[in-house]
Amino acid sequence: MLLAKVVGTVVSTQKDERLQGMKFLVLQRLDINGKLENGYVVAVDAVGAGIGEVVMYASGSSARQTVLTDKRACDAVIMGIVDTWEVDGQVKYNKGG
Amino acid sequence: MLLAKVVGTVVSTQKDERLQGMKFLVLQRLDINGKLENGYVVAVDAVGAGIGEVVMYASGSSARQTVLTDKRACDAVIMGIVDTWEVDGQVKYNKGG
Amino acid sequence: MLLAKVVGTVVSTQKDERLQGMKFLVLQRLDINGKLENGYVVAVDAVGAGIGEVVMYASGSSARQTVLTDKRACDAVIMGIVDTWEVDGQVKYNKGG
Amino acid sequence: MLLAKVVGTVVSTQKDERLQGMKFLVLQRLDINGKLENGYVVAVDAVGAGIGEVVMYASGSSARQTVLTDKRACDAVIMGIVDTWEVDGQVKYNKGG
Amino acid sequence: MLLAKVVGTVVSTQKDERLQGMKFLVLQRLDINGKLENGYVVAVDAVGAGIGEVVMYASGSSARQTVLTDKRACDAVIMGIVDTWEVDGQVKYNKGG
């Protein structure tokens, strides 16, 4: 999994029929210290994440291992909203803070 | 998923038998702001996309999760035509606009 | 899928038993304009491609979705010989030409 | 598999239901000589690894091939704690040493 | 598949139970001309490769398509020992030579 910030949305009316009703969010990747990187990915949201939140997402076939994305043409899923992460004993991100 | 622009077509007569009848499109990747990048991919079109349109595509095994691509040697599929996408409250692309 | 040119062969006598009889070709990747790139991949040939031909190949689990490669330890397969491809209205490659 | 050092933890309360109870660790990748690289990944721990330990992790669908991660939206798993590794006859890492 | 040289070994006592008895080798990647690159991967050996040998390895789910690695948390497998490879009519590597 990688860490990312939810920064936007994608609207697509004409899409594969099994993807109807899905919410597509634009995620901008974060480096290990919480700094925004250039890379992005469009992911389906399986946990009710909102704009501005820091999340974990899973890629590839693992992105289909949620009730919502099972058997869907989806290669990235938000599977967790991050409360906090810590590296080398330092808090790099704290949702409350 | 990643965002890309449909920029071309690939014609292949001699191909794996399960791929007969598929339409192969050349996609040029877009960065998070909608600028064309160097990277490209050849994808099967599952949604009736045309040259010049902005699309989302899924890679890997997820590219086989459409009726059209099921059990095919296909590792990239266009699964949505993008109407609009927004990042940090700014519209980065608008099909109508 | 990506576009590549068949530039060589790999011979391997001592290999996994399910891979006996397979033909391994060295593919050098092409950029969107048909220029050779540094990247390469060794792929199983499912379509009878020859040295010098331009092909499409699929990677990952999709590389096992041919009769030949089913259930094999193969992560790249040539699934189409390219006749022609076109980008932005310009022919970038033409087998006949 | 790649080699990495366990450098941190991620806490996520609101996550996909099948991921409840999992421990998410931040891994910083190591190069072939054991030097820390910039790349990181968040992995589920299947072997009881602790902060500071050197581990091997598997990515993609292979990350779901443990009892713990089976059918979970998990694309990286720690599947081994490294005791020692050796390259070109030189010990690059020794847990005891 | 990619070409690599077997340059080392990894010892891991505490590992996922399904991986008991596996041999983990460190592979350093080779470019198309046979020159060592910086990239490496730790792979399970399915063909009896030894230090110094040039091999082909498969990644991702394809790495589980051998009798040895089936259903294991293994994302890279050596599936062939290379005898020789040729690019543009030139021998780039010859095991005997």
Asked whether the beta carbons of residue E80 and residue C26 sit closer than 8 angstroms, the reply is: no
Chain B residues within 8 A of A72 when measuring between CB atoms: 62, 65
Chain C residue closest in CA terms to B59: C1
Exposure on the CB side of residue C78, measured as CA atoms within 13 A = 32
Nearest C-alpha of chain A: how many angstroms from B35?
A: 13
Round to whole Å and give the CA distance between D7 and D54. 9
Round to whole Å and give the CA distance between E1 and E27. 13
What length is written for chain A?
97
Computed over every residue of chain C, the mean pLDDT equals 97
Round to whole Å and give the CA distance between E29 and E31. 7
Asked whether the beta carbons of residue B65 and residue A64 sit closer than 8 angstroms, the reply is: yes
Asked whether the beta carbons of residue E1 and residue C74 sit closer than 8 angstroms, the reply is: yes
Round to whole Å and give the CA distance between A83 and B62. 29
Torsion, CA E79, CA E83, CA E87, CA E91, rounded to 10: 160
DSSP state for residue C1 in the 8-state scheme: -
Q: Is the pLDDT of residue A96 over 90?
A: no
Distances (CA, A) of C21 to A34, B68, C13: 50, 30, 10
Q: Is residue B62 helix, strand or coil?
A: helix
Asked whether the beta carbons of residue E75 and residue D87 sit closer than 8 angstroms, the reply is: no
Six token digits for residue E62 = 């394809």
Round to whole Å and give the CA distance between E84 and E95. 6
* Second CATH level (architecture) for the domain E2-94: Beta Barrel (2.40)
Element housing C18 (H / E): none
pLDDT of residue A40: 98
Q: In the structure, what pLDDT confidence band is assigned to residue C97 with cuts at 50, 70 and 90? A: confident
Q: In the structure, what pLDDT confidence band is assigned to residue C43 with cuts at 50, 70 and 90? A: very high
Residue D11's CB is within 10 A of a number of other CB atoms, namely 15
The pLDDT tens digits of the residues spanning B19-77 come to: 999 999 999 999 999 999 999 999 999 999 999 999 999 999 999 999 999 999 999 99
Round to whole Å and give the CA distance between D15 and B66. 27
Q: Report yes or no: B79 and B47 within 8 Å, Cβ to Cβ.
A: yes
| % chain A with pLDDT above 90 | 98
DSSP state for residue A32 in the 8-state scheme: T
Q: Is the pLDDT of residue D17 over 80?
A: yes
Considering only CB atoms, A9 lies closest to which of B62, B79, B85, namely B85
Six token digits for residue A21 = 């009703």
pLDDT of residue C2: 98
Q: Is residue B72 helix, strand or coil?
A: coil
The pLDDT tens digits of the residues spanning E25-52 come to: 999 999 999 999 999 999 999 999 999 9
Q: Is residue D18 helix, strand or coil?
A: helix
Chain D residues within 8 A of E72 when measuring between CB atoms: 62, 65
The pLDDT tens digits of the residues spanning A9-18 come to: 999 999 999 9
Chain C / chain E CB contacts < 8 angstroms? 101
Q: Report yes or no: D59 and D75 within 8 Å, Cβ to Cβ.
A: yes
The pLDDT tens digits of the residues spanning A39-92 come to: 999 999 999 999 999 999 999 999 999 999 999 999 999 999 999 999 999 999
Q: Is the ipTM of this complex over 0.90?
A: yes
pLDDT of residue C96: 86
The pLDDT tens digits of the residues spanning B51-66 come to: 999 999 999 999 999 9
Mark out chain C residues that contact chain E at CB-CB < 8 A.
7-19, 24, 26, 28, 38, 40-43, 60-61, 63-64, 71-76
Q: In the structure, what pLDDT confidence band is assigned to residue B89 with cuts at 50, 70 and 90? A: very high
Q: Is the CA virtual torsion B11, B14, B16, B20 positive or negative? A: positive
Nearest C-alpha of chain E: how many angstroms from C80?
A: 18
pLDDT of residue D96: 86
Q: Report yes or no: E49 and E25 within 8 Å, Cβ to Cβ.
A: yes
pLDDT of residue B97: 77
pLDDT of residue C73: 97
Round to whole Å and give the CA distance between D24 and D9. 6
Q: Report yes or no: E14 and D48 within 8 Å, Cβ to Cβ.
A: yes
